[in-house]
Structure 1
Amino acid sequence: MESTPKKAPRSKFPALLVVALALVALVFVIWRVDSAPSTNDAYASADTIDVVPEVSGRIVELAVTDNQAVKQGDLLFRIDPRPYEANLAKAEASLAALDKQIMLTQRSVDAQQFGADSVNATVEKARAAAKQASDTLRRTEPLLREGFVSAEEVDRARTAQRAAEADLNAVLL
Structure 2
Amino acid sequence: MQSPWTRDGKVRAELVSITPEVSGRLVKILVHDNQLVSTGSLLFVIDPQPYQLALDNAQAAVVRAQAELAKANHEAERRRNLPKNIISGEDLDIANLTADSMKAAYQGAQANLEQAKWNLNKTRVY
TM-score normalised by length of structure 2:
0.55
**Shift, 1:96, TM fit:** 1.4
- Which whole-Å CA distance do the structure 2 matches of 1:73 and 1:47 have between them? 16
Question: Are 1:71 and 2:41 an aligned pair?
Answer: no
Q: Give the secondary-structure state (helix, strand or coil) at the position aligned to 2:62.
A: helix
Q: Give the secondary-structure state (helix, strand or coil) at the position aligned to 2:70.
A: helix
**Shift, 1:64, TM fit:** 1.7
Paired letter, 1:119: K
% of aligned pairs identical?
32
Greater Rg by CA: 1
* Gap runs ≥5 in structure 1: 1-23, 37-44, 121-173
Q: Of the candidates 48, 66, 80, which is equivalent to residue 15 of structure 2? A: 48
- Which whole-Å CA distance do the structure 1 matches of 2:33 and 2:13 have between them? 15
1:46–1:73 Cα change, 3 Å = closer
- Which whole-Å CA distance do the structure 2 matches of 1:51 and 1:69 have between them? 15
RMSD: 2.5
Q: Of the candidates 61, 79, 89, which is equivalent to residue 28 of structure 2? A: 61
Question: Are 1:101 and 2:77 an aligned pair?
Answer: no
Which consecutive segments of 4 or more residues in structure 1 shift more than 4 A?
A: none
Structure (1 or 2) with the greater helix fraction = 1
Q: Give the secondary-structure state (helix, strand or coil) at the position aligned to 1:61.
A: strand
Residue in 1 that maps onto 2:84: 119
Residue in 2 that maps onto 1:86: 53
**Shift, 1:71, TM fit:** 0.9
- Which whole-Å CA distance do the structure 2 matches of 1:79 and 1:106 have between them? 42
Per-residue CA deviation, residues 134-166 of structure 1 (Å, 9 max, x unaligned), is xxxxxxxxxxxxxxxxxxxxxxxxxxxxxxxxx
Residue in 1 that maps onto 2:109: none
